[in-house]
């Protein structure tokens, strides 16, 4: 019988059984909890493994190191954004889009604690910063295309270019997301509905239509 090398035996022991994507998602969920509760600096692979109920070797089967795991976590967050936009893209319903954004961000108590840690670390990690910048740019581009379609349908104002509206609305949502864990009383279900209605009023069609060139 052919014997396996020591490295092969370690790799075999470290490899988790079951659905690959499901296990990877479990580890990213565990990483989210650890970072949200203990911060980026304290989020070791060992702690993530313990939170998920795996060995550290199982974690390194999916992620070679902490940096790779954190980039995967950032990518997964933006994957959720993209899925949210794609669900709306064909309809052009901006109110539903804003509601979905708030449900995804303000409605998740771990969302901003994790994103704030990733953004702060991205200042010193060019690879992570590049992923965040590229994915956020893609998000705004899709958002702008949805807004442009709504402008063509006459359901939102067209005197401001769609890309600027996308940037403004994204910044507004980011601000709410940042403050929601600190001021939860500002984001009761009733007030969130009022905030959404206010956004829709701000981008409602204006009399006079598209602004004149040079205005």
Contact indicator for 56, 76 with CB cutoff of 8 Å: no
pLDDT top residue among 147 and 102: 147
Contact indicator for 112, 180 with CB cutoff of 8 Å: yes
Return the pLDDT at 202.
Answer: 94
Return the pLDDT at 12.
Answer: 41
CATH superfamily of 1-64: Homeodomain-like (1.10.10.60)
CATH superfamily of 66-215: Tetracycline Repressor, domain 2 (1.10.357.10)
Q: State the average pLDDT for the chain.
A: 85
What are the residue ranges of CATH 1.10.10.60 in the chain? 1-64
pTM assigned to the model: 0.79
Asked whether the predicted pLDDT for residue 59 surpasses 70, the reply is yes
Asked whether the predicted pLDDT for residue 41 surpasses 80, the reply is yes
Q: Which long-range contacts (CB under 8 A, 24 or more apart) does 150-153 make?
A: 150/92, 150/94, 153/92
What are the residue ranges of CATH 1.10.357.10 in the chain? 66-215
Return the pLDDT at 11.
Answer: 40
Return the pLDDT at 16.
Answer: 56
Return the pLDDT at 18.
Answer: 64
Q: What share of the chain is helix, strand, coil (3-state, %, to 5)?
A: 70, 0, 30
């Amino acid at each position: 019988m052919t014997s396996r090398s020591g490295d092969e035996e370690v790799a075999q022991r470290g490899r988790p059984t079951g659905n690959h994507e499901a296990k990877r998602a479990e580890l990213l969920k565990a990483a989210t909890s650890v970072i949200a509760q203990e911060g980026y600096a304290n989020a070791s692979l060992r702690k993530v493994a313990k939170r998920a109920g795996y060995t550290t070797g199982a974690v390194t089967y999916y992620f070679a190191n902490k940096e790779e795991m954190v980039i995967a976590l950032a990518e997964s967050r933006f994957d959720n954004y993209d899925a949210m936009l794609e669900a709306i893209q064909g309809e052009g319903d901006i109110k539903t889009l804003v509601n979905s954004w708030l449900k995804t961000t303000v409605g998740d108590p771990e969302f901003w604690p994790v994103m704030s840690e990733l953004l702060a670390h991205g200042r010193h990690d060019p690879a992570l910063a590049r992923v965040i910048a590229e994915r956020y740019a893609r998000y705004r581009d899709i958002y702008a295309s949805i807004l442009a379609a709504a402008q063509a349908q006459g359901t939102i104002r067209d005197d401001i270019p769609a890309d600027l509206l996308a940037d403004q609305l994204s910044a507004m949502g980011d601000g709410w997301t940042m403050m929601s864990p600190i001021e939860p009383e500002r984001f009761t279900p009733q007030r969130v509905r009022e905030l959404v209605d206010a956004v829709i009023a701000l981008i409602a069609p204006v009399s006079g239509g598209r602004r004149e060139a040079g205005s």
